[in-house]
Structure 1
Amino acid sequence: MIDRLDAPRPTVSVYIDGFNLYRRLLEGHPQDKWLDLEKLARTLLPEYELARVRYFTAVVKALPGADLDSPQRQQAYLRALATLARTSVHLGNFRVDRRRMPLSPIQLDADGQPRLVTVRKTEEKGSDVSLASFLLLDAFRDDADLFVVLSNDSDLVTPMRLVREELGKRIGLLSPMEPKRTSNELKQTGISLHRQVTPSCLEISQLPEQISDAHGTIHRPAKWRRIPKAPPGAGPSNQ
């Protein structure tokens, strides 16, 4: 009889919608952006053996009026992710267009038509299609026992359904939203597992402050440094 304690754990592949994670949890919380994706996956899915993490994002550009150092911080982060053994990065792109759009709230011109203004519209392109493609490909290859998507984007409903209904694989959802705000469409795809990505999960899943690779040392960007918490009862600093 095989000892159940020696039985291998089921495997999991995780697919992270980087832009959705950023918008839902990381934007405005720079101390959490130096995120170790493998550690996050293992924290949320401790009963599984991690097969891989696929991270889908786009290369940001230095735009007028925006943070001009953001591309450098992102490149440092992508370089840090490249040191993780089970993580791969899949890049889309940002498209910037000038468009005529109505004011909000609506204002009417002399002819009774909505007054329009020219805006700069930035859109991330390609990541959702890439995520869906690799999710289906890996499931078709039977590369894991469970396929888990981290996103709140209902555009991923169809590939998740196909993985379960057509390929007969188990799927799961890691939500970057509070339970009551999680996409109902995603929850109704027949998921076998649903867990929430919380701020505390992000806090304990940070990369080291310094990481070495073949090109040298990578440092956590200064703007992303975590401010040490003051001990209980400590008064204000005089420094």
Structure 2
Amino acid sequence: MTTNIYIDGFNLYYGCLKADPALKWLDPVRLCKQLLPGRDIHRVRYFTARITPRPDQPDAPNRQDAYLRALDSLSEVSIHYGRFSQTYPRMRLSQPPPGGPGTVEVVKTEEKGTDVNIASYMLMDAFRTDCDTSVLISNDSDLCEPLRMVKNELEMTIGILNPCPRQPSHWLRSLNPAFIKPIRKGVLNASQFPDTVRLPSGAEVKRPLEWA
């Protein structure tokens, strides 16, 4: 069956990659072929946003850039960008100290655009009959509605690869997808890029030392 994959990059990262740097140099096409044997992986859409430096991780954008360049070496993969929004709202403390302030100013960083981008491309591909099966890599229940429409309105097969260590979202399970599979450490270990990836231009990109 012709299968398209829709990857919520940050859900994947925080679900099963962040805790182990050695897993972050992930080849998503290899991962999907291992988890979905016998399927024709037609297209892999990877949704993310460019991160900005933080005092504790000033080189993080360079590592992300290296990874995104490695993804560009895969003919099946296209990258779709949202954006980050950083604001400084004043929020109420749940337990303010006696005689102290009741609110505090916080740094609030939000990723914008990923959910709507995934929904838009998933539905566009389904309307175009670009695949027989739509597979989501995410445990985000906000994506239930586009999956429901693909399954019930367009009568296509849906599946979920769950990157989170906990049980799949109740709302995603309620859609009764054809399958829900966990993404475990063993298959992540077996799905890494080589340490040096050659790009179509002939240039090379190397695994960041922090991810060795």
The C-alpha deviation readout for 1:164-194, integer Å capped at 9, x for no partner, is 111111100111124x521010111131111
* Percent identical residues: 43
Structure 1: distance between partners of 2:180 and 2:204: 37
Per the alignment, residue 185 of structure 2 pairs with 199
Q: How does 1:1-239 map to 2 (within 5 A)?
A: 10-63=1-54, 65-104=55-94, 106-107=95-96, 115-178=102-165, 181-213=167-199, 214=201, 216-225=203-212
Please say if residues 36 and 207 of structure 1, whose CA atoms lie closer than 8 Å, have aligned partners that are also in contact.
yes
Structure 1: distance between partners of 2:7 and 2:98: 44
Q: 1:218 to 1:60 in 2, by over 3 A?
A: same
Q: 1:91 to 1:215 in 2, by over 3 A?
A: farther
Residue 200 of structure 1 and its aligned partner are, at CA, apart by 0.9
Residue 73 of structure 1 and its aligned partner are, at CA, apart by 0.5
Please say if residues 12 and 164 of structure 2, whose CA atoms lie closer than 8 Å, have aligned partners that are also in contact.
no
Please say if residues 164 and 190 of structure 1, whose CA atoms lie closer than 8 Å, have aligned partners that are also in contact.
no
Residue 67 of structure 1 and its aligned partner are, at CA, apart by 0.3
Structure 2: distance between partners of 1:109 and 1:89: 50
Please say if residues 161 and 190 of structure 1, whose CA atoms lie closer than 8 Å, have aligned partners that are also in contact.
no
Structure 1: distance between partners of 2:96 and 2:202: 55
Residue 107 of structure 1 and its aligned partner are, at CA, apart by 1.9
Structure 2: distance between partners of 1:21 and 1:164: 23
Aligned to 1:181, what secondary structure does the other structure show? coil
Aligned to 1:129, what secondary structure does the other structure show? helix
- TM-score calculated relative to the size of structure 1: 0.84
The C-alpha deviation readout for 1:46-103, integer Å capped at 9, x for no partner, is 121111110001000013x230000001001101100101011111111111011223
Structure 2: distance between partners of 1:216 and 1:54: 23
Larger Rg computed on CA atoms: 1
Structure 2: distance between partners of 1:120 and 1:34: 29
Query: Larger relative contact order (C-alpha < 8 A, sep ≥ 6)?
Result: 2
Aligned to 1:54, what secondary structure does the other structure show? strand
| Root mean square deviation, CA, Å | 1.6
Residue 149 of structure 1 and its aligned partner are, at CA, apart by 0.3
Runs of 4+, deviation exceeding 6 Å: none
Gaps (5+ residues) in structure 2? none
Aligned to 1:182, what secondary structure does the other structure show? coil
Please say if residues 58 and 92 of structure 1, whose CA atoms lie closer than 8 Å, have aligned partners that are also in contact.
yes
Please say if residues 173 and 187 of structure 1, whose CA atoms lie closer than 8 Å, have aligned partners that are also in contact.
no
Residue 215 of structure 1 and its aligned partner are, at CA, apart by 5.8
> What is the number of equivalent residue pairs in this alignment?
211
Gaps (5+ residues) in structure 1? 1-9, 226-239
